[in-house]
């Protein structure tokens, strides 16, 4: 039986994780907890340490071992109405926490296991997108077994198949830089993408499922980086990139972006909110990747994108948590979105 404090929804907000995006996730989870209306939500904070130990709201481990802390965390989760896992990267965004919630029988806000796993896998995302008519950059899948045989044929982008925040991503312009880039990416993941460089404008849109099951697509956001630079981990967090919101694009291109984003979102089986990243080129749209748990501080791209559309940060979180697929109907009684 779920635990309620009066009529409030009890929500477990999970942050941290064992990926290279641990610190970003901590910031997202803290922002979410602070933004949720305490008159509507009874918030329970859970944190996954870099070592895999789960901690409660006081940041103390819930058990002496990973297994023991996880068992206690499942007890806490089972006492909640809904779980919002704000854990970026592997062992979180990849569907691992959605699967945990499903096994525990607790509704989970956001994408389910299948969508998280597919979207986290950049190679699988390419296959799904191409199958529904959304183009991606030509690429080759490389492992440690065949990395040494890969020859340099021109500028490429090397990236781990399943990592976030552009960790391990390198733009390779010279032949001598290919092997170090492959080694760095293979140090993060055992599968690596080597993509042809796409020349175009970097445009992101976000898709949000409404409680009624419809899609709401944000205005497009353009990422502008210094000439010749790649929007890598440094660019994402050192303030050198500029966001233009809304992006200055013709209306037909905006409509095409929205349609392609929803098509990929649905094909992957996404739920909740997802950010869909494109390149807009003279030859049309090229999908870059899909992020099923993007940064969720008020200053992050997705909250900014929906704020520009008139949906503020707390309202965005309400929409994410109030979907009938996530919260039972009695908890929704008398609630209405702005």
Residue 226 is predicted with a pLDDT of 67
Determine the pLDDT at residue 322: 82
pLDDT tens over the chain, length 338 residues? 344 545 789 999 999 998 888 999 999 999 999 999 999 999 999 999 999 999 999 889 999 999 999 999 999 999 999 999 999 988 888 999 999 999 999 999 999 999 999 999 999 999 999 999 999 999 999 998 988 888 888 899 999 998 765 678 899 999 999 999 999 999 988 999 999 999 999 999 999 998 778 899 999 999 987 655 555 545 454 455 689 999 999 999 999 999 999 999 999 999 999 999 999 999 999 999 999 999 999 999 999 999 999 999 999 999 999 874 554 433 333 333 33
Residue 255's pLDDT is: 97
Nearest to 216 by CA among 284, 301, 302: 302
* 85: three-class secondary structure by DSSP: strand
pLDDT tens, position by position, 144-183: 898 888 888 889 999 999 876 567 889 999 999 999 999 9
Backbone phi, psi, residue 72, to 5°: -70, -40
Contacts of 181 (CB under 8 A, 6+ apart): 158, 170, 172
Q: Which H or E run contains 33?
A: helix 22-35
Gap between the Cα atoms of 68 and 65, Å rounded: 5
How many residues does the structure list for the chain?
A: 338
Q: Which pLDDT belongs to residue 166?
A: 67
What per-residue confidence (pLDDT) applies to 230? Answer: 53
Per-residue confidence (pLDDT) for residue 212, from 0 to 100: 78
Q: What pTM did the predictor assign?
A: 0.86
Taking alpha carbons only, the member of 203, 214, 299, 311 closest to residue 257 is 203
**Cα 93 to Cα 110: distance, rounded to the nearest angstrom:** 9
Domains and CATH numbers, the chain: 9-108 (3.40.50.20), 118-136+199-318 (3.30.470.20), 139-196 (3.30.1490.20)
């Amino acid at each position: 039986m779920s635990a309620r404090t009066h009529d409030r929804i009890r929500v477990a907000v999970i942050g941290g994780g064992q990926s290279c995006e641990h610190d970003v996730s901590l910031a997202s989870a803290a922002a979410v907890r602070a933004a949720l209306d305490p008159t509507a939500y009874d918030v329970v904070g859970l944190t996954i340490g870099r070592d895999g130990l789960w901690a409660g709201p006081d940041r103390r481990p819930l058990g002496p071992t990973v297994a023991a802390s996880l068992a206690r965390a499942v007890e806490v989760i089972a006492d909640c109405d809904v779980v919002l896992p704000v854990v970026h990267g592997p062992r979180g965004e990849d569907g691992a926490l959605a699967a945990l919630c499903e096994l525990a029988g607790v509704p989970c806000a956001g994408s389910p296991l299948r969508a998280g796993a597919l979207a986290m896998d950049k190679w699988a995302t390419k296959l799904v997108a191409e199958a529904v008519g959304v183009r991606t950059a030509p690429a080759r899948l490389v492992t440690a077994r065949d990395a040494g045989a890969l020859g340099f044929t021109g500028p490429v982008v090397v990236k781990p198949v399943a990592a976030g925040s552009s960790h391990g991503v390198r733009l390779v312009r010279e032949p001598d830089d290919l092997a170090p880039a492959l080694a760095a990416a293979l140090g993060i993941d055992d599968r690596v993408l080597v993509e042809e460089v796409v020349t175009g404008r970097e445009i992101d849109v976000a898709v949000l499922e409404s409680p009624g099951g419809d899609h709401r697509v944000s205005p497009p956001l353009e990422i502008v980086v210094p000439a010749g630079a790649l929007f890598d981990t440094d660019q994402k967090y050192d303030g050198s990139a500029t966001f233009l919101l809304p992006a200055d694009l013709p209306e037909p291109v905006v409509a095409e972006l929205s349609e392609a984003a929803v098509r990929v979102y649905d094909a992957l089986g996404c739920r909740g909110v997802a950010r869909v990243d494109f390149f807009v080129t003279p030859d049309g749209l090229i999908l870059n990747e899909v992020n099923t748990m993007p940064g969720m501080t008020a200053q992050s791209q997705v909250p900014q994108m929906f704020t520009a559309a008139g949906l503020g940060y707390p309202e965005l979180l309400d929409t994410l948590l109030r979907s009938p697929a996530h919260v039972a109907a009695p908890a929704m009684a008398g609630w209405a979105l702005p």
